[in-house]
Amino acid sequence: MSKMVRAPYVASDREPERVLQYVHSDVFGPMSVPTAQKRRYLMSAVDDYSRYKEIVPIHKKGQAKDALMRVLNHWKNVNRHRVGTLRTDDCKEYRGQAFDAWPGE
């Protein structure tokens, strides 16, 4: 039996109208069995409109923000749209000066 620490997300009544309007991201791990490259964490990014997903294996949780920035920059270049809202579970892996300044660039 586990204890729920946070309140669940409230369902949004807004449907996305374009790609990259809403992007969800999370970090999973550490996994007991690493990848062939010895990576024990996975960073996921999901576009709410297209449901396109990308999973990036990383060595440490602290690499999540750099992996997410690379993925979102690639998506922005391919789709010619900027990220509207980034939804996360508000954990520390996405915090930092470079990441805070990045969406405004």
Using alpha carbons, list the distances in angstroms from residue 72 to 25, 80, 85, 94: 11, 11, 12, 13
pTM beyond 0.85, yes or no: no
State mean pLDDT over 63-75: 92
Mean pLDDT of 21-47: 94
User: Where along the chain do its domains lie?
Assistant: 22-93
pLDDT over threshold 90, residue 78? yes
Give me the amino acid identity at 79: N
**CATH fold label, 22-93:** Nucleotidyltransferase; domain 5 (3.30.420)
At 94 the pLDDT is 77
Give percent of the chain with pLDDT exceeding 70.
78
Q: What pLDDT shows up at residue 48?
A: 93
52: nearest Cα among 16, 28, 27, 88: 16
Kindly report the number of other CB atoms within 10 A of residue 84's CB atom. 16
